[in-house]
Amino acid sequence: MKRILGVIFLLLNVYVSAQHQDKVDFIHAEIFIEPIPDEKRIIGTVIYEFQILADVDAVFLDARDLQFSKVLLDGKPIGYTNNGKTISIRNEFKNKKNYELNIQYSCEPKQTVYFLGWADFIEGNEQIWTQGQGKYTSHWLPSFDDMTEKVEFDLNINANNGHEVIANGILTNKNEDKKKTTWSFDMQKPMSSYLLAFVIGDYNKQELISDSGIPITNYFYPEDSLKVEPTYRYTKEIFDFLEKKIGVAYPWQNYKQVPVRDFLYAGMENTGTTIFSDQYVIDSTAFVDKNYVNVNAHELAHQWFGNLVTEKDGEHHWLHEGFATYYAYLAEREVFGDDHFYWKLYKTAQQLQEISERGEGQSLLDPKASSLTFYEKGAWALVILRELVGNGAFKTGIKNYLKKYEFKNVTVTNFINEMEFASSLNLSDFKKNWLESTSFPINVAIEELSQESTSIAVFLKLEAEMKSAQSEDIDYLKYWNQSNSIHLKTRMLEKYRSALPFEVQDKAFQSDTVPVRRSLLSQKGLNDILPKEQLVSLLSDRSYITKEMALFNLWQYYPEDRFTYLEMTKGIIGLPNKNIGMLWLILAILTENYKESDTQNYLEELNSYTGSEYSFEVRQNAFFYLKEAITFNEESLINLILATNHHAWQFKKFARNLVDELLEDPNYYLKIQKLAQELKDDDLRYIHTKLKN
């Protein structure tokens, strides 16, 4: 999966799951489920086919808070025990015999399945989607929290007509009734339970086909047809590139990408069915500010590294995230060029060096390592490994590793053995320095970067000169002109803008690339640097971040022209989190005498963006501005209380902190106390711990 923030710890093994049963091999599962959206409930049946490998007297399945109505073994009722975590079936299971277990159940999953938009009155925003990794599929299906049990799962989903249903595998049948349709999907190969997924919602789709003939389906909300091209830009290029680069054919029948609202991460690589945050669904202006390319490539790379070969447990997590990050960087290099690739690596090398110097570096074999370690140090380890063994041996090693362990589980040692075999090298030093060690070998990384990238070499020279010379003696323009790299230029602006002579800043403004101009705006005190007319011209630059910053700076520094700037930017919404639209509203409210008859409407509009019909990124922005500048109305206070129990932890945390802050104000304390009386106990789980009675 791809985390949005880089500092969360992965706790893949916190659940004590039913131990891996090495005497039982689960082969196939036929699943029938019917979600009941109004009750956030699922009714299901699963039929498992399994083989016994040695006589045993019980089999287990993980089942979190599931209620069972019927359990049949080979068609006959059988006793079972359900402890709320697992279901166990006692029986004299005989070696080499095959059995069929039929389980009928229902559940109200507290996590793993998310129901959105069913309680409001907006038509078409209803969604149901799943997140298995870290959340456990056993909350909606008796299955296996352990990653080592791989099963061929076939899903049949019964949903209201009019919604699109998407799940792992190939759609083989749609059985339409008066009100409901059963969608049947077929998988041909086994996978771990955490990769099972489905999405129900209102979607249209774009169909592509890879050079190798794999169907690729890109889903989008019906109103987003103009965003399809920028959102999914380079999808086919990335797919074809990864298949060739990895050297092993894409392992599944088809590939689908589905955006959903309020997703927990940037994206999740469910087998053949990537689910990602709809905050990456963008128009062509936003592409330069925020795009899906990296997440697109990252989740696709997992289809081999994670889904085809799966870690035995969290100790081998490098084999998932390090590899997906590395191959995503290679794919980005293919579409954006070498310079992009090396500067990205340079940035992560610096982050890794920082934590390493603070003594907080981590080993790649530590199952509790941070995302920064697993993703970025993990990618670096592969950059260095490829350098060490050479291109040919690297590719052979990867190919052998994937073929030997396909549809199985792997350890880091399995991978290293394949690389040693392919390269005829002893990799114990590599293992020690890059995998076991907690520090980051920054010197090796920097040497690699300055050899491979001339623009990074120029920047490193500038940094060295800055250490030894007085700033005014440095010929910045010489460095600026030495390379066409936009990464060098943006980096110089971001780090040293105040030291750079006017000539360099002017060249930056005249530059024909948006990111260079955008980085001119990255620091405060802008009016000293950019003449007013230049700043005004940036209001129409092709970047929503540039527009937002230009508007804010102009409004701040030139109060006499506020009306003009507001008129110029009226109606621009910006990024999916409405960065410009929301800034505009708050500035319009704060601008004296500006459209006074509309001020109340603007205020209401801003408050309304805190509602659950908007994505949490929009809501968070609205709460932020309401807090910064003005008061909350009843509607937004209720929305805030509800947000303290939101399923996305980052938004929940934001809401809880904000509530804590408001409760310190006696006025708000009383208001919140009063509003709480109108809400259900379930919505007040957090507030109750804060209110004194």
Interacting residue ranges for Zn ion, rule: CB under 5 A: 1-2, 321, 324
Closest listed residue to residue 34, CA positions, set 119, 106, 137: 106
By C-beta, is 156 or 270 nearer to Zn ion? 270
By C-beta, is 201 or 267 nearer to Zn ion? 267
Taking the complex as a whole, the smallest distance from the CB of residue 270 to Zn ion amounts, in Å, to 12
Taking the complex as a whole, the smallest distance from the CB of residue 560 to Zn ion amounts, in Å, to 51
By C-beta, is 268 or 493 nearer to Zn ion? 268
Strands (E), 289-397: 309-311
Taking the complex as a whole, the smallest distance from the CB of residue 246 to Zn ion amounts, in Å, to 16
By C-beta, is 6 or 515 nearer to Zn ion? 6
By C-beta, is 295 or 536 nearer to Zn ion? 295
State both tokens at 567. 């008129």
By C-beta, is 2 or 562 nearer to Zn ion? 2
Taking the complex as a whole, the smallest distance from the CB of residue 300 to Zn ion amounts, in Å, to 11
Are 53 and 24 in contact by the 8 Å Cβ rule? The answer is: yes
Closest listed residue to residue 237, CA positions, set 138, 151, 336, 362: 336
Q: Report the amino acid identity of residue 558.
A: Y
Contacting residues for 600 by C-beta, under 8 A, at least 6 apart: none
Taking the complex as a whole, the smallest distance from the CB of residue 265 to Zn ion amounts, in Å, to 8
Contacting residues for 17 by C-beta, under 8 A, at least 6 apart: 62, 86, 138, 144, 145, 146
By C-beta, is 4 or 47 nearer to Zn ion? 4
Are 503 and 529 in contact by the 8 Å Cβ rule? The answer is: no
Taking the complex as a whole, the smallest distance from the CB of residue 325 to Zn ion amounts, in Å, to 7
Taking the complex as a whole, the smallest distance from the CB of residue 334 to Zn ion amounts, in Å, to 19
Taking the complex as a whole, the smallest distance from the CB of residue 302 to Zn ion amounts, in Å, to 6
DSSP secondary structure letters along 252-272: SS-EEEEEETT-SSSEE--TT
Are 368 and 11 in contact by the 8 Å Cβ rule? The answer is: yes
Taking the complex as a whole, the smallest distance from the CB of residue 581 to Zn ion amounts, in Å, to 32
State both tokens at 433. 């320095």
Contacting residues for 370 by C-beta, under 8 A, at least 6 apart: 6, 7, 8, 9, 10, 362
Taking the complex as a whole, the smallest distance from the CB of residue 133 to Zn ion amounts, in Å, to 9
Chain centroid to CA 446: 29
Judging by beta carbons within 10 Å of its beta carbon (0-12, 13-18, 19+), is residue 75 exposed, middle or buried?
exposed
**Helix (H), strand (E), coil (C) string for 565-630:** HHHHHCCCCCCCCCHHHHHHHHHHHHCCCCCHHHHHHHHHHHHHCCCCCCCHHHHHHHHHHHHHHC
CA distance 205 to 166: 11
By C-beta, is 259 or 611 nearer to Zn ion? 259
By C-beta, is 346 or 374 nearer to Zn ion? 374
Taking the complex as a whole, the smallest distance from the CB of residue 395 to Zn ion amounts, in Å, to 22
CA distance 63 to 83: 9
CA distance 108 to 110: 6
Quote the crossing angle between the two packed helices 378-389 and 442-452, to the nearest 10°. Answer: 60
By C-beta, is 6 or 501 nearer to Zn ion? 6
By C-beta, is 1 or 242 nearer to Zn ion? 1
